[in-house]
């Protein structure tokens, strides 16, 4: 999927549009902060974001700011509004005062292309800000074109745009709410989520599903980052996958989370110990050492169940052993990114530290990078496996006379060849290439082959050496084969 590009415009430069009722509030400063936060949250969700101002004081022309959006999917100008009349007046038979105006207006471009998104944003912003009079989508026309200069600019470059009024800074409640940086962050997150849903970008990495890393990759990873990792930890790693599969939860994500929670199973600075079999800090709060489980399997099962509590609202497949399962608001964090309370749109989650989910994903990507180039013998191979090591197996079996196509896929033909090899070498012919088969294969390859007769020029080898320019080795072959080689060359 190609990236969605958003152009964000912070309305007004410098210190501009002071609130008449909350003097600390300047619209321009709020716009500036909010657009930076929104940029960050959009980028986390996979958007590409450009902005119209180099800094708060930079002040390009309105039209030019809108036209900056050229090539983008959307232009968004951020503001808070002002109502200017201070006297009371009648409206729809009610007494009315502009100070009371507290609603979200989103002005969408006349092309109508941003209209449905603008409506969703208006409703969400009104909800998050708790405005008195809700949210609306509007258009504003002037002489047959856009009324707002920035929207004239974005329309001129063919980009649907909107001007978002985050309620009115002439309303004291709204202005005070917007002065709080934590509120702005919540607002930015909520807006980014609306955009992500609208453009069909998933909110993050689903916790539910099939693991992408295998046990060998996880074991290799932990051995690399913690050379003193206890053998019991290495042995239990396959349980992440089997327990995860039972509940439809990605066991590799659980493993990456355990690495984070236990300091790569060093338990340095961790509230839990290895003996507790609690590899995810379950039940750890200030002054509490957390839950304990009888076996590593139960500890991992509880973690998987706890992740499932966050990931979806499906019934547990197994017997519930997570003592904290019911404390979770089911399905509040379907994505790893949302496990962190700060990143979760509902303000719920597993942990309160910033970027908790992002840290898990960083570990996961390193686990997945392990063994891109696997060597034969690193893992047990069976039908359905793929990879460099399968290709190596196919090539070596071919060399031993079990002709195979080296396509890196362990299919029926490879299985048949492995079975044949196994029975030829007195092994159980189960077609699974494990340590015993590997040992036998290496042994078979080491058996000295009959001496090369002079006419058997190793042509493949010669060509490879020529291509890579290995002159010394070529000379050695030349010395051995003399005349025949000269003819070839």
- How is residue 349 annotated by DSSP? -
CA distances from 115 to 111, 126, 136 (A): 9, 16, 10
CB of 82 to Zn ion, least distance (A): 8
Contact 140, 210 (CB under 8 A): no
Picking from 354, 376, 336, the residue whose alpha carbon sits closest to that of residue 252 is: 336
Q: Which is nearer to Zn ion, 175 or 249 (CB)?
A: 175
Q: Which is nearer to Zn ion, 79 or 189 (CB)?
A: 79
Query: Is the C-alpha dihedral spanning 39, 44, 50, 54 positive or negative?
Result: positive
CB of 104 to Zn ion, least distance (A): 13
Phi then psi for residue 180, to 5 deg, are: -90, 115
CB of 276 to Zn ion, least distance (A): 55
Q: Which residue has the tokens 């159980």?
A: 428
Q: Which is nearer to Zn ion, 24 or 456 (CB)?
A: 24
CB of 108 to Zn ion, least distance (A): 16
Query: Is the C-alpha dihedral spanning 229, 235, 236, 237 positive or negative?
Result: positive
Q: Which is nearer to Zn ion, 28 or 305 (CB)?
A: 28
Q: Which is nearer to Zn ion, 77 or 394 (CB)?
A: 77
Report long-range pairs for 140-143 (Cβ below 8 Å, ≥24 apart).
140/107, 141/110
Q: Which is nearer to Zn ion, 80 or 205 (CB)?
A: 80
Q: Which is nearer to Zn ion, 33 or 79 (CB)?
A: 79
CB of 131 to Zn ion, least distance (A): 17
Query: Is the C-alpha dihedral spanning 287, 292, 298, 299 positive or negative?
Result: positive
Return the axis-axis angle of helices 471-481 and 459-468, rounded to nearest 10°. 150
Q: Which is nearer to Zn ion, 68 or 278 (CB)?
A: 68
CB of 13 to Zn ion, least distance (A): 11
Q: Which is nearer to Zn ion, 174 or 211 (CB)?
A: 174
CB of 151 to Zn ion, least distance (A): 13
CB of 27 to Zn ion, least distance (A): 5
Q: What angle do CA 332, 333, 336 make, to 5 degrees?
A: 175
CB of 79 to Zn ion, least distance (A): 3
Helix (H) or strand (E) holding 104: strand 104-108
CB of 11 to Zn ion, least distance (A): 4
Contact 82, 17 (CB under 8 A): yes
Nearest residue to Zn ion by CB is: 79
CB of 268 to Zn ion, least distance (A): 51
**Using CA atoms, how far apart are residues 290 and 278, in angstroms rounded to an integer?**
8
Give the number of C-alpha atoms closer than 13 A to the C-alpha of residue 299, restricted to the C-beta side.
24
Spatial CB neighbours of 443, under 8 Å, sequence gap ≥ 6: none
Beta bridge partners of 200: none
Q: Which is nearer to Zn ion, 27 or 385 (CB)?
A: 27
Picking from 412, 2, 312, 36, the residue whose alpha carbon sits closest to that of residue 188 is: 36
Helix (H) or strand (E) holding 79: strand 74-81
**Using CA atoms, how far apart are residues 489 and 484, in angstroms rounded to an integer?**
9
Q: Within 10 Å of residue 230's Cβ, how many Cβ atoms?
A: 14
- Alpha-carbon torsion, ordered 311, 315, 319, 321, to 10 deg: 40
Contact 69, 161 (CB under 8 A): yes
The tokens of 92 are what? 């729809």
CB of 31 to Zn ion, least distance (A): 7
Q: Which is nearer to Zn ion, 79 or 374 (CB)?
A: 79
Q: Which is nearer to Zn ion, 30 or 396 (CB)?
A: 30
Kindly list the residues in this chain that would bind Zn ion in the complex (CB under 5 A).
Answer: 11, 79
């Amino acid at each position: 999927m190609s990236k969605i590009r958003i152009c964000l415009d912070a309305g007004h430069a410098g210190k501009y549009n002071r609130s008449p009722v909350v003097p600390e509030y300047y619209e321009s400063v709020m716009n500036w902060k909010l657009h930076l936060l929104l940029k960050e949250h959009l980028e986390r969700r996979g958007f590409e974001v450009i902005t119209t101002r180099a800094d708060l004081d930079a002040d390009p022309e309105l039209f030019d700011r809108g036209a900056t959006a050229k090539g983008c999917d959307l232009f968004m100008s951020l503001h808070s509004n002002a109502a200017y009349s201070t006297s009371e007046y009648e409206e729809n038979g009610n007494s009315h005062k502009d100070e009371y105006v507290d609603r979200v207006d989103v002005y969408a471009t006349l092309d109508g292309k941003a209209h449905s998104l603008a409506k969703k944003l208006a409703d969400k912003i009104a909800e998050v800000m708790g405005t008195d009079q809700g949210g609306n989508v509007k258009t504003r026309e002037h002489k047959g074109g856009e009324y707002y200069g920035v929207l004239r600019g974005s329309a001129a470059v063919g980009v649907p745009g909107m001007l978002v009024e985050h309620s009115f800074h002439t309303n004291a409640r709204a202005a005070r709410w917007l002065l709080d940086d934590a509120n702005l962050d919540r607002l930015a997150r909520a807006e980014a989520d609306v955009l992500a849903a609208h453009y069909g970008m998933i909110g993050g990495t689903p916790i539910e599903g099939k693991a992408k890393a295998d046990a060998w990759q996880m074991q290799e990873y932990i051995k690399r980052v913690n050379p003193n990792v206890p053998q019991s930890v290495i042995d239990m790693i396959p349980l992440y996958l089997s327990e995860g599969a039972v509940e439809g939860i990605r066991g590799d994500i659980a493993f990456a989370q355990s690495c984070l929670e236990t300091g790569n199973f060093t338990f340095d600075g961790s509230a839990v110990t290895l003996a507790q079999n609690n590899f995810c800090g379950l039940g750890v709060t200030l002054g509490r050492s957390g839950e304990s489980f009888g076996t590593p399997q139960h500890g991992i099962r509880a973690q998987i169940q706890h992740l499932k509590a966050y990931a979806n609202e499906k019934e547990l497949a197994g017997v519930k052993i997570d003592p904290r399962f019911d404390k979770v608001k089911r399905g509040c964090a379907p994505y790893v990114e949302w496990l962190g309370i700060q990143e979760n749109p509902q303000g719920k989650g597993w942990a309160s530290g910033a970027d908790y989910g992002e840290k898990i994903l960083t570990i996961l990507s390193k686990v997945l990078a392990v063994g891109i180039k696997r060597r034969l013998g690193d893992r047990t191979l069976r039908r359905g496996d793929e990879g460099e090591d399968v290709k190596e197996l196919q090539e070596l079996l071919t060399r031993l006379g079990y002709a195979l196509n080296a396509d890196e896929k362990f299919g029926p033909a490879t299985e048949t060849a492995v079975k044949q090899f196994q029975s030829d070498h007195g092994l159980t012919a189960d077609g699974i290439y494990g340590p015993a088969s590997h040992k036998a294969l290496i042994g078979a390859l080491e058996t000295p082959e009959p001496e090369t007769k002079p006419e058997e020029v190793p042509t493949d080898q010669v060509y490879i050496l020529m291509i890579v320019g290995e002159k010394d080795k070529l000379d050695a072959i030349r010395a051995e084969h003399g005349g025949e080689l000269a003819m070839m060359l």
